[in-house]
């Protein structure tokens, strides 16, 4: 930290660091027990703070839940999206997104598997700001997959009849299926199966095949 | 009810009918709010009974959760499995299982979408009897799909290289993906997309194609 920072700035940084540390604990609780299981009382115990200390960072349970969703999004981008962005847009990046996603879901970034699969399921019947935020992020993820399919068609890496919405839907489904089979059934082959499904599906749209 | 029934039998039947009626309410609460959201107090309010009246039927929250899982299984068998069993084993029954499942998931059998997708996600990180039961039922579902693929290969309806575990995994994933997209994103095309994915996957293993 530069020595020229004022006390005010110093306090702000400390506050932000504390907030980030709290969120890391909260993400892990939420990934296993759900965002609704994330009470301020429980979290205060786990991070060793008073409930009123926590209230200084998050004014309500909903604010905490929204902050956790955004922190999980940052982790997702860092683990899944950023490594894939190093590859050219199109089929290479699409394949890489499949691989980084599968690595993320089995790599114990979140104790209870993919945070967003769990949060989606938990909030699909609970209207409100948390549901809206999860929805927006998930729609963005499907759109990101679809954009790579579109680019792959433009690059002539996939045949013109490859439907980007369809393929984005299928990729997301295979990822969810893998996360489910690994978390519930402890099926270690689940990630390889999802990968096979996605890669063979892309192969079926290879431009040199007859359609 | 035959007039020859003793009072004891009559009371037993009444008890079973009440229990079944309670379970129908409980299933709907659980499909939206989760099995953990199913408190005896909440359920007592919803069915208009006292908590102690409920305790006569279910001795604990866990007993109630297990009874709800079994009642949901009965509904699943009635809606998804039984109609498909009318068709011959193999590819016809497999396609029918895909269709009955998709109809079940969009047909509002459960208010919150497929009960088992929700229960799987909720309990994957919660060890205990409820998790074990859900696991057992889900493994049975995957095995039922795999058995139809095996029979389809024996019938020469699918090529010998069709892997039954792989196809069962993929079908289940597409179903989960459809349930997710419909429940969270209200995507009405989700069921048609899942159906396209499954039918085209079977087509890729048609025995007349070169592999």
Instruction: Render A58-81 in DSSP notation, one character per residue.
Output: -SSHHHHHHHHHHHHHHHHIIIII
Q: Which CATH code is given to the segment(s) A7-204?
A: 1.10.357.10
In 3D space, the residue among B52, B48, B43, B57 whose CA is nearest the CA of residue B15 turns out to be B57
How confident is the prediction for chain A on average, in pLDDT? Answer: 89
- Count contacts between A and B (CB, < 8 Å): 130
Cβ <8 Å between A180 and B120 = yes
Placement of tokens 């039954």 in the chain: B164
Identify the band that residue A13 occupies on the pLDDT scale cut at 50, 70 and 90: low
B24: left (phi over 0), alpha (psi -120 to 50) or beta: alpha
Cα B86 from Cα B145, distance rounded (Å): 15
Set of chain A residues whose Cβ sits within 8 Å of the Cβ of B142: 185
Partner-chain contact B194 A120, CB within 8 Å: no
**Is the predicted pLDDT of residue B9 greater than 60, yes or no?**
no
Confidence of residue B1 (pLDDT cuts 50, 70, 90): very low
pLDDT of B12 reads: 56
Every domain of chain A and the residues it spans: 7-204
Task: Kindly list the residues from chain B whose CB atom is less than 8 angstroms away from the CB atom of residue A194.
Answer: 169, 173
Q: What pLDDT is attached to residue A39?
A: 83
Look at B173 and A197 and tell me if their CB atoms are within 8 Å: yes
Place of tokens 């013109």: A160
Residue B80 and residue B104 in contact, taking contact as beta carbons nearer than 8 Å: yes
Average pLDDT for A92-111? 91
Taking CB atoms and an 8 Å limit, are B173 and A169 in contact across chains? no
Position B6 scores a pLDDT of: 38
Chain A residues touching B117 at Cβ < 8 A: 121, 180
For the stretch B162-207, pLDDT in tens is 999 999 999 999 999 999 999 999 999 999 999 999 999 999 999 9
pTM of structure: 0.90
Over pLDDT 90: what percentage of chain B?
Answer: 64
Instruction: Give the number of residues written for chain B.
Output: 211
Contacting residues of B for A184, CB less than 8 Å apart: 120, 123-124, 131, 134-135, 138
The encoded tokens of residue A69 equal 């969703």
Residues 6+ apart with CB under 8 A from A108: none
Q: What is the pLDDT of residues A114-142, one digit of tens each?
A: 889 889 888 888 899 999 999 999 999 99
pLDDT the model gives residue A4 = 31
Phi, psi angle pair for A97, to nearest 5°: -60, -40
Nearest residue of chain B to residue A177 (CA atoms): B173
For B166, name the nearest residue in chain A, comparing CA atoms only: A193
- State which of A54-58, A67-71, A106-110, B56-60 shows the largest mean pLDDT: A67-71
- Give the closest of B135, B181, B204 to A185, CB-based: B135
pLDDT band at B111 (very low <50, low <70, confident <90, very high): confident
CA B39 to chain centre: 22
């Amino acid at each position: 930290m530069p020595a020229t920072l004022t006390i005010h700035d110093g306090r702000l940084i400390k506050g932000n660091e504390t907030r980030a540390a709290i969120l890391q604990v909260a993400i892990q609780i939420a990934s296993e027990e759900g965002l609704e299981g994330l009470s301020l009382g429980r979290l205060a115990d786990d991070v060793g703070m008073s409930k009123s200390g926590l209230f200084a960072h998050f004014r309500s349970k909903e604010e905490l839940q929204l902050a956790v969703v955004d922190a999980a999004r940052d982790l997702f981008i860092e683990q899944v999206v950023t490594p894939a962005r190093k590859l050219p847009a199109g089929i290479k990046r699409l394949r890489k997104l499949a691989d980084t996603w599968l690595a993320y879901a089995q790599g114990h970034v979140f104790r209870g598997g993919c945070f967003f699969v769990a949060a989606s399921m938990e909030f699909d019947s609970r209207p409100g700001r948390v549901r809206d935020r999860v929805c927006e992020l998930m729609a963005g993820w499907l759109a990101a997959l679809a954009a790579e399919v579109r680019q792959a068609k433009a690059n002539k890496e996939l045949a013109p009849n490859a439907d980007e919405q369809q393929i984005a839907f299928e990729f997301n489904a295979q990822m969810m299926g893998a996360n489910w089979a690994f978390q519930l059934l402890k099926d270690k082959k689940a990630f390889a199966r999802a990968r096979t499904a996605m890669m063979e599906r892309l192969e079926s749209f290879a431009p040199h095949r007859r359609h």
